[in-house]
Amino acid sequence: MATLKERIDADLKDAMRSKNELTLSVLRMLKSAVKYKEVEPGASALDDAGILTVIAGLIKQRRDSVEQFKSGGRPELAEKEEAEIGVLQNYLPKQLTADELAAEVRASIAETGAKGPKDMGAVMKHLNARIHGKAEGRAISEAVKSELSKLS
């Protein structure tokens, strides 16, 4: 099976051939972000998990931009950012449903022995290792906070 980096390169070539401007610009931006991470001092070539982290960061940036553009009365820019999010999400693993996420949160709480909200850090660390890239950080955080508040 091809690595995520190889898949991105192949899709970039396809986007060039088909003249798909949106996909082309998003994949170029993604490759640039990955390269930037790799040339940081002390960094090395990114594996698939590292690339997933970069993709998640880019999606988060785009989501923040969408909110700002909508509140600033620029719906056309918000739509462009949402389209870019759609392209980036193609490279993430299948996202967990709310029920699946809640089940993972409960399992992590049980495995870490968390007793309440003060144990959120331990649960988050354990959970992020298990479901890396399968849910957004904000959704994970809210689910953990919700479940832990039921314990106290």
Output 79 or 46, whichever has higher pLDDT: 79
Mean pLDDT calculated for residue range 17-46 = 92
The model scores a pTM over 0.85: no
Reply yes or no on whether the pLDDT at 117 is more than 80: yes
- Annotate 50-85 with b (16+ C-beta within 10 A) or e (fewer): bbbebbbebbeebeebbeebeeeeeeeebebbeebb
Q: How confident is the model at residue 139 (pLDDT cuts 50, 70, 90)?
A: confident
Reply yes or no on whether the pLDDT at 79 is more than 70: yes
Which residue type does 81 have?
E
Q: How confident is the model at residue 152 (pLDDT cuts 50, 70, 90)?
A: low
| Domains annotated on the chain, with CATH | 4-90 (1.10.1510.10), 98-150 (1.10.10.410)
Pull the structure tokens for residue 46: 């990114």
Closest residue by Cα to residue 131 from 91, 89, 73, 92: 92
